[in-house]
């Protein structure tokens, strides 16, 4: 993994030093991703959901994708158990149409467009921010459906804070993590490492005999964050995240004997690696000018092999990026954000692409006005790509405060997604004449503080997609599809005395505009409910997730049934330094599938884990 990353801080609003930005990552009411600067969640026009480290500890998610299922408008459709490829759909858009960042660094695979989120260990994560709706005017390509940003674990304050976590559970699952954080007023650091192993499950039922084994998963992760302030106006820092391991999976499509043309079984696995390095310089150049420079490097390596053959397919992509952002406070009510992006993708592997690198450069500017009667936001970005040329995207929003407790927001945003290397240059199955996918979105939001203990956020939106890339019967991609996605989202956070409930509801109507069919693997109705309570040293919680039926194919012939999942969790702080936790997922042992596969002319569902248990102990000794 190449360490090539510098990053000056995203300009905060505005005379906020970078160290305070790290503190903001621990606050549920702050947001960084929407405008690349720390601000109040209520001050941004983007519909958003935030999970802090405290939320992660309380909810005890098994993975990042498990956490994302709690976001209104986000659906996850994996093809099996732990480590399997997840389809992540934000507001009905496909996985490659949403941008994934780790500490500001793009991590998606440039060949397939997959982000590798399933390989990130939650023990190495400080915070997850999810933006719903296009942010291409800020981030450029891929941010059609939204943006997911992962922030690696940070220091909890001065002094040294060690931590140790051990866990064991169903399917021979064993987890170990070790960390140390600390610092002083000038320097902060966090170092963590983890090992996550499970024997897994058999992801396919009827299939080849060789696929009848359990699909194991092993993940080693490392996280390092370091920051230092030089006086009151300059800070530099470094963030590193590396996850690598092996993920076994089933391939019911098999391989073929070149002589008899008969299907043969497989025992495939992937040796994976997802890593990012980001460094920054953050400077308060004057009372009105805040500047941040970021340099980043990411790698997404995928080495597919088979225990029963010599077949090997390697897809390694590398990305270097630079971002320079400036925040100018023109006067009390006017703020100007402007800057530039540059990144370059490179591909190396077993497949001979006709082109194996490309660069993208961009400039962006955004004006924000904050008044008593209304607020506005207007932004534009121009991307110039080596392969597909130029793209200009706009965004605009108007915020109308009805009263102190209620805001109404109207917004318009454009988005685009650049074709991947597979789309453009994969031998025999590509199209070098592809254009970027494009979108236009319209949104109405209502945000209400119903009471001191109740917060309601709703969004009504429409997204129109054109030049969408689909693969025809000849497996050649073309810009022929168009889609229309209408949706309603609601998030309700309620405090009931000592109880806290979080409800997320989404109604989505994602349609192909030509056929009128529902887009594949998108359910029309989803609901998530978390209920938690603290009893002195004990805490208890429960989660309920309900998902309606969907279709696995664009022709809407293969139906996926709806399902409901119940999970419970509990924790006991035996001492100030020692805590035990237990969680039971899929308590009712629901048999369900979120994706289908074909075998012998029939369709079957990829298996999901049944009832599972995980017992963990966390030790945080005081030094």
Residue 10 inside a domain? The answer is: no
Residue 493 lies in a domain: yes
Is 11 among the domain residues?
Answer: no
182-220 per-position pLDDT tens digit: 999 899 999 999 999 999 999 998 888 888 889 999 999
Q: In this structure, is residue 9 part of a structural domain?
A: no
**Rounded Cα distance, 590 and 454, in Å:** 32
In whole angstroms, give the CA distance from residue 556 to residue 554: 5
Our count of domains for the chain comes to 1
The answer to whether position 6 is within a domain reads no
Closest to 411 measured CA to CA, from 145, 133, 164, 144 = 133
Flag whether pLDDT at 123 surpasses 70.
Answer: yes
Q: 190 pairs with which residues across the strands?
A: 181, 225
CA 416 – CA 440 distance, rounded (Å)? 9
Q: Half-sphere exposure of 361 toward its Cβ, with a 13 Å CA cutoff?
A: 1
For residues 489 and 132, give the distance between their C-alpha atoms in angstroms, rounded to a whole number: 10
pLDDT band for 20, please (50, 70, 90 cuts): low
What are the tens digits of pLDDT across the range 251-264? 887 766 655 556 66
Residue 4: its pLDDT value, please?
Answer: 36
What is d(CA 92, CA 441) in angstroms, rounded to the nearest whole number?
Answer: 12
CA distance 357 to 348: 9
User: From its phi and psi, is residue 356 left (phi > 0), alpha (psi between -120 and 50) or beta?
Assistant: alpha
pLDDT band at 19 (very low <50, low <70, confident <90, very high): low
Secondary structure of 24-75 in the HEC alphabet?
A: HCCCCCEECCCCCCCEEHHHCCCEEEEECHHHHHHHCCCCHHHHHCCCCCEE
Q: Are 565 and 586 in contact (CB under 8 A)?
A: yes
Q: Is the pTM of this model over 0.75?
A: yes
- How many Å apart are CA 14 and CA 22, to the nearest integer? 15
User: Which single residue is written with the structure tokens 């590509």?
Assistant: 430
Share of the chain above pLDDT 70, in %: 95
- The reported pLDDT for the residue numbered 473 is 78
Domain contains 45: yes
Mean pLDDT, residues 388-409: 95
464 lies in a domain? yes
Q: What is the CATH number of the domain that holds 436?
A: 2.40.170.20
State mean pLDDT over 368-382.
Answer: 95
Q: What is the pLDDT of residues 41-64, one digit of tens each?
A: 989 999 999 999 999 999 999 999
Chain mean pLDDT for the chain: 92
Q: pLDDT band at residue 7, thresholds of 50, 70 and 90? A: very low
- Sign of the torsion angle spanned by Cα atoms 420, 421, 426, 431: positive
What are 468-526's pLDDT values in tens digits?
998 877 889 999 889 999 999 999 999 998 999 999 999 999 999 999 999 999 999 99
CA–CA gap between residue 617 and residue 619 (Å, rounded): 7
Domain assignment present for residue 440? The answer is yes
Q: How many CB atoms lie within 10 A of CB 404?
A: 7
Residue 312: the pLDDT is: 92
Confidence label for 15 from pLDDT (cuts 50, 70 and 90): very low
Which domain covers residue 327, as residue numbers? 18-619
pLDDT value at residue 6: 32
Least confident range of 12-16, 225-229, 300-304: 12-16
Contact (CB, 8 A) for 294 and 21: no
């Amino acid at each position: 993994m190449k360490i090539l990353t510098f990053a000056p801080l995203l300009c905060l609003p505005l005379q906020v030093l970078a160290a305070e930005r790290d503190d903001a990552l621990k606050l549920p009411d702050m947001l960084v991703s929407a405008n690349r600067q720390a601000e109040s969640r209520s001050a941004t026009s983007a519909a958003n959901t935030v999970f802090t480290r405290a939320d992660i500890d309380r909810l005890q998610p098994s993975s990042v994708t498990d956490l994302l299922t709690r976001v209104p408008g986000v659906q996850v459709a994996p093809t099996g158990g732990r480590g399997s490829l997840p389809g992540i759909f934000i507001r009905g858009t496909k996985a490659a149409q949403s941008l994934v960042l780790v500490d500001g660094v793009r991590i998606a695979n440039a060949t397939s467009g997959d982000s590798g989120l399933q390989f990130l260990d939650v023990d190495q994560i400080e915070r997850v921010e999810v933006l719903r709706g296009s942010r291409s005017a800020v981030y450029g390509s891929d941010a059609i459906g939204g943006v997911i940003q992962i922030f690696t674990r940070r220091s909890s304050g001065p002094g040294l804070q060690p931590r140790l976590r051990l866990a064991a559970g169903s399917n021979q699952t064993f987890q170990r993590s070790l960390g140390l954080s600390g610092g002083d007023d000038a320097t902060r650091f966090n170092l963590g490492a983890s090992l996550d192993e499970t024997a897994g499950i058999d992801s396919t039922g009827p299939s080849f005999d060789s696929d009848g084994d359990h699909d194991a998963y092993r993940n080693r992760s490392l996280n390092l964050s370091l920051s230092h302030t030089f006086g009151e106006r300059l800070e530099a820092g470094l963030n590193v995240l590396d996850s690598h391991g092996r993920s076994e999976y089933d391939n019911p499509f098999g391989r073929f004997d070149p002589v008899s043309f008969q299907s043969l079984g497989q025992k495939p696995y992937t040796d994976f690696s997802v890593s990012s390095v980001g460094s920054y310089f953050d400077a308060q150049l004057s009372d009105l000018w805040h500047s941040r420079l970021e340099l980043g490097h990411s790698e997404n390596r995928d080495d597919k092999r088979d225990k029963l053959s010599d077949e090997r397919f390697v897809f390694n992509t590398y990305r270097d990026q630079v971002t320079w952002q400036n925040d100018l406070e023109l006067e009390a009510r006017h703020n100007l954000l402007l800057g530039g992006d540059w990144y370059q993708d490179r591909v190396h592997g077993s497949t001979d692409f006709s082109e194996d690198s490309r660069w993208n450069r961009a400039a962006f500017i955004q004006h924000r006005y904050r008044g008593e009667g209304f607020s506005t936001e207007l932004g534009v970005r121009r991307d110039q790509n080596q392969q597909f040329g130029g793209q200009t995207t706009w965004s605009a929003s108007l915020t109308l405060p009805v009263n102190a407790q209620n805001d109404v927001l109207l917004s318009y945003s454009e988005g685009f997604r650049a074709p991947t290397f597979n789309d453009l240059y994969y031998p025999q199955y590509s199209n070098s004449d592809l254009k970027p996918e494009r979108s236009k979105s319209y949104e109405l939001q209502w945000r209400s503080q119903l009471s001191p203990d109740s917060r309601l956020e709703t969004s009504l939106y429409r997204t129109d997609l054109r030049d969408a890339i689909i693969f025809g019967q000849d497996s050649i991609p073309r810009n022929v599809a168009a889609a229309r996605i209408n949706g309603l989202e609601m998030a309700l956070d309620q405090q009931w005395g000592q109880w806290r409930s979080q409800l997320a509801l989404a109604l989505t109507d994602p349609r192909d505009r030509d056929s009128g069919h529902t887009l594949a693997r998108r359910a029309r109705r989803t609901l998530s409910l978390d209920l938690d309570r603290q009893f002195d040293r004990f805490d208890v919680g429960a989660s309920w997730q309900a998902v309606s039926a969907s279709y696995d194919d664009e022709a809407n012939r293969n139906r996926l049934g709806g399902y409901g999942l119940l999970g419970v969790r509990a924790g006991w702080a035996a001492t100030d330094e020692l805590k035990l936790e237990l969680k039971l997922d899929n308590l009712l042992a629901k048999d369900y599938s979120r994706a289908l596969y074909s075998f012998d002319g029939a369709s079957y569902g990829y298996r999901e884990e049944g009832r599972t248990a995980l017992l963990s102990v966390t030790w945080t000794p005081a030094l």
